[in-house]
Amino acid sequence: MNSTTRAPVAPRVTYERIYVWQWGVRAFHWINAAAISVLFATGLYIADPFLSANGEAYDVFVMARIRQIHFAAAFVFAVAFVWRMYFFWFGNRYARSGFPAVWKRKWWSDLVRQATDYLTLNVGHGHLGHNALAGLAYTLFVIGLGWCQILTGFALYSESNPGGFWDGLVGWVIPLCGGSLRTHMAHHLFAWGFVVFAIVHVYIVLLDSRQYRNGLIGSMITGFKFKPVERRDDDGAKP
Amino acid sequence: MATSVGTRPTTWDLLRTHGFERRDFLRFCAITTAAMGLDASFIPQVAHAFETKPRLPVLWLHGLECTCCSESFIRSSHPIAQDVILNMISLDYDETLQAAAGEQVEEIRRKMIAEHPGEYVLAVEGNAPTKDGGVYCTIAGETFEKVLLETAEHAKFVIAWGSCASNGCVQAASPNPTGAKPIHELVHGKPIVKVPGCPPIAEVMTGLLAHVLTFDRLPELDRVGRPKMFYGQRIHDKCYRRAFFDAGQFVERWDDDGARKGWCLYKMGCRGPTTYNSCSTIKWNGGVSFPIGSGHGCIGCSEANFWDDGPFYARLATTRLPGVETTPQAIGKVAATAAALGAAAHLVSFGAKQVLSRDTDKGSNHPDNPQR
């Protein structure tokens, strides 16, 4: 290698702009993030009503309003959940990327590779959709916990109207959990799973978007990710 | 069914021999109808039942329990227990209330099982210990478990009085040293109606018996086998302090201003929001009051596992998870902190490695790994 005669050449990389996240997926992401934030904040208040309302009871309606907001956000969360399920089945291929296809060797190898890269602090390789580890995390923490919260949450909601629609639909959850109190406890515990998820999720998104330079953060707004395209130098050598 | 015990007197027969008039009888029927929560149009049906149906034979067993159900039952005001016992049902066996004793009453029980199979009702107060061959509760030299199963086999249906029989209650609470089991875990293949509570409300107990006698069948039951007419709603939803809950006005200490004003006891650990019972509507002692009405939170005595589900004076968020000596909130905070620390540790290590490897050829944006 004749390094003395050649000036160091910066890698010449151009990027291909690829439409990855469909509008429905992007809308879900932000609606879901907002709904979870509202649900968690109001949920904390319902569990421990730290505000003390002054005056006569007919003048104030604090707990009832906070619960109302919680229920409204819960309906938004549930509808968004169904909405995202539609895109899982009928969206583009990135909408279901990374899903734990445990029967496929390819998914397992990607999972091990991605986990190893994170643990050994390697830059690793980017993905256009979700990598296998991300897919696993979304399945456990968003889909799994989401179902847990929807089922326990609507079961608790149904208690105020015994024999009603929600009681018929999800009332069976309460005896399954071992009674109303234990259903409440489960609902509280699962809620913290979303906090753990949010912390790790934001960190990994910031990290990956830094290491892969693929426009990860912006992609959830615009839908486009960037894929580096290798270019050869004028003299035909790889950069 | 009614024909085979046709020789037994009906309620009306019995009242007449006691010198009651028709008017008294109809008044009794009206009160009973109201106690069951039925429309006035049902009064003729109730009267007809009391006139024509022989009194319901009931065998009332006492297992591992404190007799608080019986104590509650005899304080029933509408219809009063005396009417129930003397007129509506034929209480043929009850260790607490019977005058006879010893071999005589055991003979009555055996005779009833042998001569009227499928016609008597088995009411069970308490539950059966199963550990060490069931020696922790024996009656007339036999284990209660054996007596229970023997009597249940030919019963028309089984009433599980109280939390002991319905859910296990205190003797089945962790660590359950005698292996006590509620009735539904021991008796199979019989309709079982659960009447939980420690004790159940007297009017709920007599109301259930009146319903059974009038309609000759169990009332509509919920998912866990409780009569919907009494256990269909949470105490919270009919609580007279509910307005303070919705307003966000809570008692914070037992001696604070909110406690004096009768605010909601939610933060003092009231189990009203998780307990299904009629305490806030029927109330206790003939409608005098109920725990929340006396300024104390509900302890959820009619719910399963109420002894094991944390302290009575703590709100859910501060209640320990059953079997786990910590709260959901504490677990969540630890997990969230661990996640944040993990992310921070990764960030620092990753940054350090990037800085250290800056001298080498590999840049962070080098496309040496083609994307898929």
Domain ranges of chain B: 11-231, 233-325, 333-359
Closest CA to B183 of B204, B171, B167, B201: B167
- Helices first, then strands: H and E counts in chain A: 9, 2
Q: How many whole angstroms separate alpha carbon B314 and alpha carbon B299?
A: 10
Three-class secondary structure of residue A24 per DSSP: helix
Q: Per-residue pLDDT for B367 more than 60? A: no
Top mean pLDDT of A50-64, A76-90, B202-216 is at A76-90
- Give residue B364's pLDDT: 44
User: Which pTM value belongs to this model?
Assistant: 0.86
Q: How many whole angstroms separate alpha carbon B248 and alpha carbon B267?
A: 10
- Give residue B2's pLDDT: 37
- Structural domains for chain A: 13-230 (1.20.950.20)
For the stretch B130-140, pLDDT in tens is: 999 999 999 98
Cα angle value A70/A76/A78 (rounded, 5°)? 100
Nearest to A64 among B246, B333, B339 (CB): B246
Q: How far is CA B37 from CA B30, B42, B200, B207, in A?
A: 11, 10, 17, 9
Nearest to A60 among B247, B274, B342 (CB): B247
Nearest to B335 among A64, A196, A212 (CB): A196
For the stretch B244-276, pLDDT in tens is: 999 999 999 999 999 999 999 999 999 999 999
Q: How many whole angstroms separate alpha carbon B257 and alpha carbon B259?
A: 5
Q: Per-residue pLDDT for A234 more than 70? A: no
Higher pLDDT, B11 or A22: A22
**For chain B, how big is the Rg over CA atoms in Å?**
28
Question: Do the domains spanning B11-231 and B233-325 agree at the CATH topology level?
Answer: no
Q: Is B305 on the interface with A (CB under 8 A)?
A: yes
- Give residue B247's pLDDT: 94
CATH architecture type of domain B233-325: Irregular (4.10)
Closest alpha carbon within chain A to B300: A181
Residues in chain A with CB shorter than 8 Å from the CB of B297 are: none
Closest alpha carbon within chain A to B225: A175
Looking at residue B55, the DSSP 8-state letter turns out to be P
> How far does the CA of residue A132 sit from the closest CA of chain B (Å)?
12
Task: Return the sign of the alpha-carbon dihedral for residues A160, A162, A167, A172.
Answer: positive
Nearest to A185 among B321, B336, B350 (CB): B321
Q: How many whole angstroms separate alpha carbon B228 and alpha carbon B98?
A: 31
- Give residue A11's pLDDT: 59
CATH topology of domain B11-231: Rossmann fold (3.40.50)
Residues in chain A with CB shorter than 8 Å from the CB of B365 are: 11, 13, 211-213, 228
| Partner-chain contact B362 A123, CB within 8 Å | yes
In this predicted structure, which of A14-23, B19-28, B79-88 has the lowest mean pLDDT? B79-88
For the stretch B54-100, pLDDT in tens is: 888 899 999 999 999 999 988 887 666 677 666 778 888 998 888 88
Residues in chain A with CB shorter than 8 Å from the CB of B194 are: none
Question: By the 8 A CB rule, do B255 and B223 touch?
Answer: no
Q: Per-residue pLDDT for A5 more than 60? A: no
Q: Span A36-64, mean pLDDT?
A: 91
- Residue type present at position B57: P
- Give residue A189's pLDDT: 92
Q: Per-residue pLDDT for B4 more than 60? A: no
